[in-house]
Structure 1
């Protein structure tokens, strides 16, 4: 293993460890509880019956400049965010938290996705 591969491996391990320690409450997905009388719905984070947070490691043959130089955001940028185009209700079937570390030719891009429904209460 060369120095660059070793550096990325160390980064991956440290990132996974720190995320698991700090973001554990978001390692679930949404669940809905329905009450008949009086009619009431509750949406909550279910950490027990979920796949947990998602962590992806990817590599592409692009440079930082390829990602940042164009005036318009290149379509490839969508691929570094796992939950691109997800909507709030998708939190019932997708993890609420997704981190994707993408190795570029000359750098690293970290995409972070979290459900926007968090922090809201519905009745």
Structure 2
């Protein structure tokens, strides 16, 4: 039985398949940071803070995509971070616009001291035609 040397210098028989190479073992820290900031930004977008975290996550996600293109590691996480960060930014902008619209619509109701008066005034603002 004859043996041969494969490209890694390991002896194999002619009928034996060469061992597979594992995927490159490396980490893309920027991609992970983008995912974390994107998810936290998405969760906290209801209080508009998520928009700022989303912007940071978006920048890190774009940088992580560049790194993934060069190294081949972390592309999925980079895309996930970029998408979640973008959604967090959009959600924060929508929350801010809604808050400004609501404040403008109900500005005459802010003179009342009791919550029931305020609720009644707000109800009238939205049901008045």
Relative to the length of structure 1, the TM-score reads 0.23
- Higher share of residues assigned helix: 2
Q: Which has the larger radius of gyration?
A: 2
Relative to the length of structure 2, the TM-score reads 0.23
